Structure 1
Amino acid sequence: MKKNYLAVAASLGLVQLGLQVNTAHAQSAKSADTSKSLNEVVVTATRSPKKLADIGRVVTVIGPEEIRQSQGKTVPQLLNSVAGITFSGAQNNMGISSSLYVRGASVGNTLILIDGFPVNNAGSIDGSYDLNAFSVDQIERIEILKGSGSTLYGSDAVAGVINIITKHPKTPGLKADVQLSGGSYNTFKESAGLSGKLNKTGIALNVSNVDSKGFPAATDTTGKAGFKNDGYHQRAVSLNLDQQLSDKLTLNGNFQTSYNYGDLPDGAFTDDPNYTYHNTFLFGGIGAKYLLPKGALQLNVSQNTVWNKFLESPSAANFNTSYEGKNIGRITNAELIYNQTLNQNFDITSGAGFKYSNTSQFSHYSQPGYDPGPNVSGPDNNITSVFSSLFFKSDIFHMELGGRYNNHSKYGGNFTYTINPSVIIADRFKIFGTAASAFKAPSLYQLASQYGNNDLKPETTTSYEAGFDWSITNTLSFNTVFYKRKTTDVIYFYTNPSTFKSYYQNGNLEDDKGFESELNYHIEGLTASAYAAYVTGTQTDTKGVDTHNLLRRPRNTYGASIAYDVTKVFEVGVNYKYTGERSDTHFLNVAPYSRVEGLAPYSLVDLHVQAKATKKLSLYVDLNNLFDAKYIDWIGYNTRGFNAYGGLKYQIN
């Protein structure tokens, strides 16, 4: 507790100091990355450029400044500092998959986009995409829409949409940069970028390499301290191309790939010196945009493929167990989107889409005297959809009315809707509300793997939210959102206590509710923000028994951050987050074989320092978990203690 109080005191003290200091020697205004004026333009919420004042939602933007200050972090760690988002496992060893929860919704209910292209993984258990595949230095900004986005984005956007916008060419001529960094756990990273425009052609290329010896991923309770370090390695390439063919027609291409490999434990509390993984992520997208007199027509086609391979060699440590698992997930997307301004009060966004998903699953587990043979499956499905949202705008009143019709190859047709009114008062105070529905089909893994159940029904969700966004002054803003979400036919993993057979099945009802509040302040050379979030929920099983369903998700989180230009060439940033009590499942070797246990709350403080040594050379240091907090995210797995990283970036014009 003393460490928590120290962390809070340090953060609040720095905020107070920052508000009192003289900012006369700050060189340039820093836009508040997570604070926004109502005049800021975003695209994710409506699939067309609109001011926040014209949108009846709160959209969080992580901008270039915050990303630049997060080079020592992973993408899950970066997103974990956003109100209403919990990235459970983000502080585990590098390479260990983390779980994304937006407003308490289950993993797989948040759609991940790369520059507007969907990238969910058809081969994973819940269809979710591993954001460890991304390197932070490839990202320009991130737009986050919390709440249902299923009308405009489809079945995976039940709880929200995270749009990762990669670096794009901006200025004439070519510019290059090189970054080198290193730090704790023998982690080293090298990256290089090239971007710019040549006539009507733009290019942005980024390559990066990460190597880390890591630390033991599993918690050692043997008392022998003999668990091995689990290493991690990543090779990543990002390429964006733009070609302006005419004043009205532009083509763009997007290519992302990463190869990740490393070591794994044999599960909670269990080391395995011979268990490894190899993951390859490959994404390609092509888009064409044609400008109309009062709108635009856009065609997007993309292919996302993920290869996963897991190998466990026999040894005394694993009782001579042999395991090989391989899966490939493929998703093909095609969308045609039409945006049109009808008159000064109405505009419309409509479109049609086709999504094909396929996975190849192979697993083979054996021990001496036991070899059931390999398990092989190759299911696929597709979904065709049409959607439209009508937007009304007057001086004070705004409204979105939207609907989407989906036709699933297994489950047939269904309709989802969005109703989203908002009122603007004195150009500074926005009140809004939303009622929306969503449909989510079971993943291919849940249907056809060795634990699959072909009789699963899709989940259906109805969600409501209400709130306000207040630009108190040009430098200070405050927003609060209350939400409620009800999901029927919830899919969960079940083990029969009599037969010990495990499989996926539908539950009855899941009911979640909560709120988020954010306060943001920014002036020249200084940004500060604070937030608080709360979520709670119950799940009612088929027998009518209520249980707390938010495993690994805290009811309470809050945090604060500050970034300050001390001089023209020296800046400091501090980030604080409190994660409240939550629960996790502890699996046992004896009856009852599992039990739910509570996890203690914890606080983390991170410090970022950056200096501009010359016009072209910048140096930075990141000190994470500054007070070396001891905590658990997952039972049986280790988390990072105090860790430090330093690096440099050199700009080549």
Structure 2
Amino acid sequence: MKKNYLKTVAGLALAPMLLPTLKVQAQDTTRTLKDVVITASRSPKKLSDIGRVVTTITAAEISRSQGKTLPELLNTVPGIMFSGAENVQGQSSDIYLRGASAGNTLILIDGFPANDASSIAGNYDLNAFPIDQIDHIEILKGSGSTLYGSDAVAGVINIFTKHPQQQGLKANAQFAGGSYNTFKEAIGLNGKLNKTGIALNLSNTDSKGFSVANDQLGTGTFDNDAFHQRSGSLNLTQEVSSRFTLNGNLQLTHNTGDNDYDAFVDDKDYTYKRTYLFGGIGGRYQLDKGAINVNVSQNNVWNEFKNLPSDNFDTYQLTSNIGRITNVEGIFTYKFNKYLDLTSGVDYKYSNTKQYSDYSTTGYAPGPSQVSADTAHTAIGSAYGSLFFNSGIFHAELGGRYNHHNKYGDNFTYTFNPSVLLFDRLKVFGTVASAYKAPSLYQLYSEYGNINLKPEKTNLSLEAGFDLGIIKDVLSFNTVFYKRDIKDVLAFYTDPNTFASYYINANKQKDKGFESELNLKIDQLTASAYAAYVVGKQYDANGVETHNLYRRPKNTYGANVNYQIIKTVSVGLNYKYTGDRRDNDFTVYPSQIVTLKHYNLLDAHVQVSPVKNLTLFCDLKNILDEKYFDWYGYNTRRFNFMAGAKYQFN
């Protein structure tokens, strides 16, 4: 008890020292309303000209985060709970933005939508991304379905991979090692040859890991669960003319590892393989007052899970699934005059999956379950448009989107987003919007599928907030309140009489909360502090309140700081408090609700450049050595570190 108290006090005591930012970890400049972002409007706009909340993780910040994984980095962003980010590397993890369910945050890769047609909710596994292949990230919070379609219920995370930068080719190399016998190697080649650009990045990660399942009885017999990743990405650009540019990207990642299926149970025979192949090609034609973009992308995922027992008395399990999604889109942007511009487009998305599952244990062998790609497929076509008005002081977005799905039919979303900029330092904004999430192929066609599912509809998404520059380029504060009402919630249901299980459209879900952030920059010190709060209720068809927000805390708060001691040395700290959460205990029947205790995470990093082109780095994580669960019965990392070196060849 005393130990836990001291940990909490130590963590909280650091918070005032770490005063605040909308940025994650270190940042080079304070966040200002002059910053330009793309994701909020699908075209470059200053934050002062849009009434949305956008967080940018810069290239400099990512460069200083090479000892982290992408889930660990995103977990430090205010309003994001990345459940499982600290589990054994490579294990599945769920991202909850503003308390929304997993799958209700759209992932983009260089602006191309990324989904997994084989997964339960259709959400993409961010373990597919080595952090060394990422340039920067933009996070749009709030409904984004008008511009982006399905899944953009709580927001959009746009991951920009490394692109060609300067004339001439330059190579770089990185090596790192750390806890759990984890080692990582990466090499890259980046540059332009006349009008052709290339960015090639290759990486390899191996970790002996630790046991996925928690050894509740302390037997000491649970084995470590390893993780291996091979990954490569390629970006090409070609300037065909002064107006016309082609670009293409390709990412291939192969993850393998060991797993424990059940909580508190060691499984020595359970392994997995996951392969992700994402590719896209696009063309941009620059008009005098706008641009035309045409993009085509395909996302393929292959998963295989094996539990092959050493004798006939143990559980046998084999799951194999393939998912493929093809996206085609055309985007038209046009500036009518200094007050009014347009973003509009059409897109088409085709998804299919092939799945096989076989399970048997002593006395129970139901036989294999199969889903054919010829049967399990959907198509959705959309047309959308948003007008953006800018008078200098008053700004507004008004937009709508029409969607036609080959199974459930038609639906429509809208956005109205006004904002006012006063004295070039105070932005007051609000949003009234709707959003939707189409049912996944698994929810429609698996053994638990329901072909009559309707889309999950957010009929009303509200935001109201302000962004204030207290001291220009030194101190700023912003806060936003939000409310989200969803109907026809996609949910897994078991009939209490027949015990048959299948997916249904539950009745209603209502969530609300707020986020506040304070940002500071004084000379070489940048700092941030934040707090986020979310509560929610769900109602069944009879209006009875049921549990909501599993694995999601009501309260999170934290702080980040970076200090450039001298030109060649920087240090930083990250602190985050995560409150109590609810989870299910599936080790008993019927399952019971348990409380996952709150915890404090404190991380530190140092970066040193002893000579030109060489950078040394070290990340210390979970310094307080907190023991906690993100998922009941599954381990998280205790105190651990990652250290390494990066070298840039001339």
TM-score range, shorter chain: over 0.9
Q: In the TM superposition, what is the alpha-carbon distance from 1:536 to its structure 2 partner?
A: 0.1
Q: Which residue of 2 is the match for residue 271 of structure 1?
A: 266
Q: Which residue of 2 is the match for residue 422 of structure 1?
A: 419
1:331 to 325, 332, 355: 325
Q: Is the 8 A contact 1:30 1:523 kept in 2?
A: no
1:321 to 315, 320, 324: 315
**What pairs with 1:385-400 in structure 2 (closer than 5 Å)?**
385-400=382-397
Following the alignment from structure 1 to structure 2, what is the Cα–Cα distance between the partners of residues 484 and 142? 25
Q: Which residue of 2 is the match for residue 516 of structure 1?
A: 515
**What pairs with 1:519-534 in structure 2 (closer than 5 Å)?**
519-534=518-533
**Structure 1 counterpart of 2:643, one-letter code:** G
Q: Which residue of 2 is the match for residue 226 of structure 1?
A: 221
Following the alignment from structure 1 to structure 2, what is the Cα–Cα distance between the partners of residues 650 and 160? 36
Following the alignment from structure 1 to structure 2, what is the Cα–Cα distance between the partners of residues 229 and 313? 18
Q: In the TM superposition, what is the alpha-carbon distance from 1:329 to its structure 2 partner?
A: 0.8
1:625 aligns to 2:622 (yes or no): yes
**What pairs with 1:487-502 in structure 2 (closer than 5 Å)?**
487-502=486-501
Following the alignment from structure 1 to structure 2, what is the Cα–Cα distance between the partners of residues 542 and 386? 32
The secondary structure found in structure 1 opposite 2:39 is coil
Q: In the TM superposition, what is the alpha-carbon distance from 1:414 to its structure 2 partner?
A: 1.3
**What pairs with 1:345-364 in structure 2 (closer than 5 Å)?**
345-364=339-358
Q: Which residue of 2 is the match for residue 259 of structure 1?
A: 254
Q: In the TM superposition, what is the alpha-carbon distance from 1:566 to its structure 2 partner?
A: 1.0
**RMSD of aligned alpha carbons:** 1.5
Q: Which residue of 2 is the match for residue 22 of structure 1?
A: none
Following the alignment from structure 2 to structure 1, what is the Cα–Cα distance between the partners of residues 526 and 547? 38
Q: In the TM superposition, what is the alpha-carbon distance from 1:99 to its structure 2 partner?
A: 0.7
Following the alignment from structure 1 to structure 2, what is the Cα–Cα distance between the partners of residues 429 and 185? 48
The secondary structure found in structure 2 opposite 1:231 is strand
Q: In the TM superposition, what is the alpha-carbon distance from 1:347 to its structure 2 partner?
A: 0.3
**Structure 2 counterpart of 1:601, one-letter code:** H
Closer, same or farther: CA 447–567 of 1 in aligned 2, 3 Å: same
Following the alignment from structure 2 to structure 1, what is the Cα–Cα distance between the partners of residues 362 and 40? 55
Closer, same or farther: CA 129–236 of 1 in aligned 2, 3 Å: same
The count of corresponding residues between Structure 1 and Structure 2 is: 637
2:243 to 242, 248, 258: 248
Q: Is the 8 A contact 2:343 2:387 kept in 1?
A: yes
**What pairs with 1:368-447 in structure 2 (closer than 5 Å)?**
368=362, 370-378=364-372, 379-447=376-444
Q: Which residue of 1 is the match for residue 475 of structure 2?
A: 476
Following the alignment from structure 2 to structure 1, what is the Cα–Cα distance between the partners of residues 342 and 422? 24
Q: Is the 8 A contact 2:264 2:633 kept in 1?
A: yes
Q: Which residue of 2 is the match for residue 26 of structure 1?
A: none
Q: In the TM superposition, what is the alpha-carbon distance from 1:588 to its structure 2 partner?
A: 3.3
Q: In the TM superposition, what is the alpha-carbon distance from 1:419 to its structure 2 partner?
A: 0.3
Q: Is the 8 A contact 1:30 1:524 kept in 2?
A: no
The secondary structure found in structure 2 opposite 1:10 is helix
1:3 aligns to 2:7 (yes or no): yes
Q: Spell out, residue by residue over 1:69-103, the C-alpha distance to the aligned partner (whole angstroms, 9 max, x if none).
A: 21111111111111111001111111110111111
Q: Spell out, residue by residue over 1:490-523, the C-alpha distance to the aligned partner (whole angstroms, 9 max, x if none).
A: 1111223333332212211000000001111124
Q: In the TM superposition, what is the alpha-carbon distance from 1:156 to its structure 2 partner?
A: 1.4
Q: Which residue of 1 is the match for residue 288 of structure 2?
A: 293
Q: Is the 8 A contact 2:585 2:593 kept in 1?
A: yes
1:50 aligns to 2:45 (yes or no): yes
Q: Is the 8 A contact 1:539 1:547 kept in 2?
A: yes
Q: In the TM superposition, what is the alpha-carbon distance from 1:31 to its structure 2 partner?
A: 2.4
Following the alignment from structure 1 to structure 2, what is the Cα–Cα distance between the partners of residues 588 and 183? 33
Q: Is the 8 A contact 1:418 1:434 kept in 2?
A: yes
Q: Which residue of 2 is the match for residue 576 of structure 1?
A: 575
Q: Spell out, residue by residue over 1:123-159, the C-alpha distance to the aligned partner (whole angstroms, 9 max, x if none).
A: 1000000000000011111000010000000011111
Q: Spell out, residue by residue over 1:599-653, the C-alpha distance to the aligned partner (whole angstroms, 9 max, x if none).
A: 1111000000111011011111110001101111111101100001110001101
Q: Spell out, residue by residue over 1:575-594, the C-alpha distance to the aligned partner (whole angstroms, 9 max, x if none).
A: 0000011111111334xx21
**Structure 2 counterpart of 1:2, one-letter code:** L
Following the alignment from structure 1 to structure 2, what is the Cα–Cα distance between the partners of residues 386 and 377? 31
Structure 1 unaligned blocks of 5 or more:
17-28
Following the alignment from structure 1 to structure 2, what is the Cα–Cα distance between the partners of residues 437 and 319? 52
Q: Is the 8 A contact 1:11 1:575 kept in 2?
A: no
Q: Percent identity at matched positions?
A: 61
The secondary structure found in structure 2 opposite 1:5 is helix
Q: Which residue of 1 is the match for residue 88 of structure 2?
A: 93
**Structure 1 counterpart of 2:38, one-letter code:** V
Q: Is the 8 A contact 1:574 1:605 kept in 2?
A: yes
Following the alignment from structure 2 to structure 1, what is the Cα–Cα distance between the partners of residues 443 and 213? 27
Closer, same or farther: CA 621–602 of 1 in aligned 2, 3 Å: same
Q: Which residue of 1 is the match for residue 547 of structure 2?
A: 548
Q: Which residue of 2 is the match for residue 456 of structure 1?
A: 453
Q: In the TM superposition, what is the alpha-carbon distance from 1:30 to its structure 2 partner?
A: 5.2
The secondary structure found in structure 2 opposite 1:437 is strand
Q: Is the 8 A contact 2:19 2:518 kept in 1?
A: no
**What pairs with 1:90-169 in structure 2 (closer than 5 Å)?**
90-169=85-164
Following the alignment from structure 1 to structure 2, what is the Cα–Cα distance between the partners of residues 500 and 227? 34
Q: Is the 8 A contact 1:609 1:620 kept in 2?
A: yes
1:310 aligns to 2:305 (yes or no): yes
Following the alignment from structure 1 to structure 2, what is the Cα–Cα distance between the partners of residues 449 and 398? 46
1:204 aligns to 2:202 (yes or no): no
1:602 to 592, 599, 610: 599
**Structure 1 counterpart of 2:236, one-letter code:** L
Q: Which residue of 2 is the match for residue 466 of structure 1?
A: 464
Q: In the TM superposition, what is the alpha-carbon distance from 1:58 to its structure 2 partner?
A: 1.4
Q: Which residue of 2 is the match for residue 12 of structure 1?
A: 16
Following the alignment from structure 2 to structure 1, what is the Cα–Cα distance between the partners of residues 76 and 261? 30
Q: In the TM superposition, what is the alpha-carbon distance from 1:307 to its structure 2 partner?
A: 0.4
The secondary structure found in structure 1 opposite 2:127 is helix
TM-score by length of 2: 0.96
Q: Is the 8 A contact 1:30 1:522 kept in 2?
A: no
Q: Is the 8 A contact 1:578 1:601 kept in 2?
A: yes
Q: Which residue of 2 is the match for residue 189 of structure 1?
A: 184
Following the alignment from structure 2 to structure 1, what is the Cα–Cα distance between the partners of residues 186 and 309? 37
Following the alignment from structure 2 to structure 1, what is the Cα–Cα distance between the partners of residues 521 and 353? 47
Point out the more displaced range, 214-223 or 511-520.
Answer: 214-223
Q: Is the 8 A contact 1:262 1:277 kept in 2?
A: yes
Q: Is the 8 A contact 1:59 1:146 kept in 2?
A: yes
Point out the more displaced range, 226-235 or 502-511.
Answer: 502-511
**Structure 1 counterpart of 2:457, one-letter code:** T
Q: In the TM superposition, what is the alpha-carbon distance from 1:402 to its structure 2 partner?
A: 0.2
The secondary structure found in structure 2 opposite 1:566 is strand
Q: Spell out, residue by residue over 1:46-83, the C-alpha distance to the aligned partner (whole angstroms, 9 max, x if none).
A: 00010111111110001112211211111111111111
Q: Is the 8 A contact 1:240 1:252 kept in 2?
A: yes
Closer, same or farther: CA 385–14 of 1 in aligned 2, 3 Å: closer
**Structure 2 counterpart of 1:374, one-letter code:** P
Q: In the TM superposition, what is the alpha-carbon distance from 1:11 to its structure 2 partner?
A: 4.4
**Structure 1 counterpart of 2:624, one-letter code:** F
Q: Which residue of 1 is the match for residue 23 of structure 2?
A: none
Following the alignment from structure 2 to structure 1, what is the Cα–Cα distance between the partners of residues 313 and 544? 39
Closer, same or farther: CA 15–396 of 1 in aligned 2, 3 Å: closer
**Structure 1 counterpart of 2:251, one-letter code:** Q
Q: Which residue of 2 is the match for residue 25 of structure 1?
A: none
Q: Spell out, residue by residue over 1:151-210, the C-alpha distance to the aligned partner (whole angstroms, 9 max, x if none).
A: 000011111000000111111111111000000000000000110111001111110000
Following the alignment from structure 1 to structure 2, what is the Cα–Cα distance between the partners of residues 258 and 48? 29
Q: Spell out, residue by residue over 1:552-578, the C-alpha distance to the aligned partner (whole angstroms, 9 max, x if none).
A: 000000010100011121110100000
Structure 2 unaligned blocks of 5 or more:
21-25
